[in-house]
Amino acid sequence: MKLDLTLLFLDDSLLAINKPAGILAIPDRWDPDAPVARSILEKEYGALFPVHRIDRDTTGVLVYARSRDAHRTLSLDFSTRQVKKEYLAIVCGEPTQDSWDVNLPLRADGDRLHRTVIDKSKGKESFTHFEVVERYRGYALVRALPETGRTHQIRIHLAASGLPILADPLYGDGKSLLLSQIKRRWKGDAFEEKPLISRTALHALRVSFAHPVLKTPLVLEAPEPRDFRAALSQMRKLLAR
């Protein structure tokens, strides 16, 4: 599998990429054979230290530290909510509000499917603010602004809102989006049709923080990938509100 690890930023302290779908940020005990961005990048750029992670099928901004000092500073900034993260998600269903907050405590690896679960007694504090960006018939494009960084936080907070992310296999129905499903009088070949998007429709659009050494503001942004754009393009044409 050819992987496009597009660099978004590189200096002596930081390396950031636009992570494609299908690749892990760091090794995962549940999927030891999956390609890992950190391992691939270290062959060219030397030791990298993870300061956050995004899921295998989530695309977008992924940041690594290139020194222990930068790692220590950035890890503290992430843990004390000094880092601002912005995601885009295509959700199934139509939000009843233009914006809302979800404050539900989460516990990782909480069931036999290794999903994160809502646990009001043992879960960790988890807060996400959501805003509707665009509305379609049966779907919506939503901006997610997580204040905490729990495993699968955005995915389960949207599912708990009755708006699972499109094609999410753990917290939704996992079904791909097909043009034949949303276009009336579609005339293609059902046996050759390829999905518009077939993985969890979640994209890490932007990460904003202070450079760990220079202390200057840094905003890293990753354009949406082709499948995400293709799904939105068809929804805008065929399902617009």
Q: Say yes or no: domain 6-238 is CATH 3.90.1300.10.
A: no
Chain centre to alpha carbon of residue 198: 14
Per the structure block, which two tokens stand in for 91? 């959700």
Please tell me the predicted confidence (pLDDT) of residue 3: 67
Give tens-digit pLDDT for 82-116: 999 999 999 999 999 999 999 999 999 989 888 99
Give tens-digit pLDDT for 147-189: 999 999 999 999 999 999 999 999 999 999 999 999 988 887 7
* Helix, strand, coil abundance in the chain, percent, nearest 5: 20, 30, 50
Nearest to 90 by CA among 152, 53, 135, 55: 135
Which position has the token pair 């905490």?
148
β-pairing, 49-50 vs 117-118, is: unpaired
Average pLDDT of the chain is 94
Give tens-digit pLDDT for 114-146: 899 999 999 999 999 999 999 999 999 999 999
Please give the share of the chain, as a percent, with pLDDT higher than 70. 98
Q: Which residues pair with 88 in a beta bridge?
A: 143, 203
Catalytic residue among 11, 28, 31, 55: 55
Buried/exposed code over 26-60 (b: 16+ C-beta within 10 A; e: otherwise): eeeeeeeeeebbbeebeeeeeebbbbbbbbbbbbb
β-pairing, 59-65 vs 202-210, is: parallel
- Which whole-number Å values give the CA distances from 119 to 72, 102, 103, 111, in the listed order? 30, 14, 12, 11
d(CA 123, CA 112): 17
Domain range summary for the chain, segments of one domain joined by +:
6-238
* DSSP assignment letter at 94: -
- Active-site annotation holds for 111: no
Assess whether pLDDT exceeds 70 at residue 1: no
- pTM summary value: 0.95
Assess whether pLDDT exceeds 90 at residue 28: no
Assess whether pLDDT exceeds 80 at residue 2: no
